[in-house]
C-alpha cells in the first residue's frame, strides 16, 4: 500500500516525542500491536534515530515508520539511513527539499495558502496543517475551498473530538501526539495507551 492509500485508509498518524528512548520504542511497538500502522517518531525526542532503527528491525520493511521534526537535509538523510520510510517536517525548507529528493513520502508542514502552493510545487506527498489548533476545523474547511484536491493532515492539539471534526471538514487523516501517547513515551502507562489507541482508532474509522 502506498502512503496516499494508507493515509486514506487508516486516517490516523501517531506521533511519538519521548524523553526516554526505551519507553519510546515500547510505545512504537504497542501502537503497532494495537493496529495503528502509521507511526512517526520525532527527531526531537531522546535517541530517536535509534528508536527508528530498532523498530524497523522488529516491524519489517512493510511498516510505515516515520521520522518527524525533519528540519535539515542531514536530518532527512539520517532518518532514511535509520530506516524511516516517511519523513515529516514542521514547515518548508531544506529538510522538506531533501526529503523529496530522496524519493520518500513527505508530510510537509504548512499553514498559509502560500505555503500550500509552495509545498505542492515542491512535490510533497501530503500537507501537514500545523499548528492546526490555530484555526481549527473551520480553517481547514476554508483552506480546502481553493485546494479541494490536496490531502491535508491536521496536527497540533488534536484530541478525539477534534479528530472527528477535522475528518468531517475534509482532512484525509489526522496526526495525534500527546492526546494519544500520553506519558507512555516517557515511561508511563502502556495500558492507558492501549485504551486511547482503541478510542482514536474507532473515531478515525468513522
* Torsion angle of C-alpha atoms 200, 89, 66, 24, degrees rounded to 10: -70
- Cβ–Cβ under 8 Å, residues 63 and 56: yes
Which residue of the set 98, 115, 128, 199 is catalytic? 128
What are φ and ψ of residue 106, in 5° steps? -130, 125
Which residue is it, cell 537535509? 73
Query: Is 128 an active-site residue?
Result: yes
Which residue of the set 10, 40, 97, 98 is catalytic? 40
What are φ and ψ of residue 190, in 5° steps? -80, -25
Q: Does the pLDDT at position 98 exceed 80?
A: yes
- Cβ–Cβ under 8 Å, residues 169 and 9: no
pLDDT digits (tens, 9 = 90+) for 22-60: 999 999 999 999 999 999 999 999 999 999 999 999 999
Q: Residue 1 — pLDDT band, cuts 50, 70, 90?
A: low
Its sign, for the CA torsion 55, 173, 200, 110, is: positive
Query: Is 40 an active-site residue?
Result: yes
pLDDT digits (tens, 9 = 90+) for 167-183: 999 999 999 999 999 99
| CATH superfamily, domain at 3-205 | Aldolase class I (3.20.20.70)
Q: Does the pLDDT at position 76 exceed 90?
A: yes
- Average pLDDT (4-32) is 97
Amino acid at each position: 500500500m502506498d502512503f496516499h492509500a494508507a493515509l486514506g485508509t487508516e486516517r490516523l498518524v501517531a506521533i511519538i516525542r519521548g524523553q526516554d528512548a526505551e519507553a519510546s520504542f515500547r510505545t512504537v511497538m504497542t501502537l503497532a500491536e494495537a493496529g495503528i500502522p502509521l507511526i512517526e517518531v520525532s527527531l526531537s525526542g531522546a535517541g530517536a534515530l535509534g528508536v527508528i532503527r530498532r523498530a524497523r528491525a522488529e516491524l519489517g520493511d512493510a511498516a510505515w515508520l516515520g521520522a518527524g521534526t525533519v528540519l535539515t537535509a542531514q536530518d532527512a538523510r539520517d532518518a532514511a539511513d535509520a530506516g524511516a520510510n516517511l519523513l515529516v517536517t514542521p514547515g518548508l525548507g531544506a529538510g522538506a527539499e531533501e526529503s523529496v529528493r530522496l524519493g520518500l513520502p513527505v508530510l510537509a508542514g504548512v499553514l498559509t495558502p502560500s505555503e500550500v502552493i509552495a509545498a505542492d510545487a515542491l512535490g510533497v506527498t501530503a500537507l501537514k496543517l500545523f499548528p492546526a489548533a490555530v484555526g481549527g476545523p473551520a480553517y481547514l474547511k476554508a483552506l480546502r475551498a481553493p485546494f479541494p484536491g490536496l490531502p491535508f493532515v491536521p496536527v497540533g492539539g488534536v484530541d478525539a473530538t477534534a479528530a472527528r471534526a477535522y475528518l468531517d471538514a475534509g482532512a484525509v487523516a489526522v496526526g495525534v501526539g500527546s492526546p494519544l501517547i500520553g506519558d507512555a513515551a516517557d515511561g508511563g502507562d502502556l495500558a492507558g495507551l492501549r485504551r486511547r489507541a482503541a478510542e482514536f482508532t474507532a473515531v478515525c474509522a468513522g
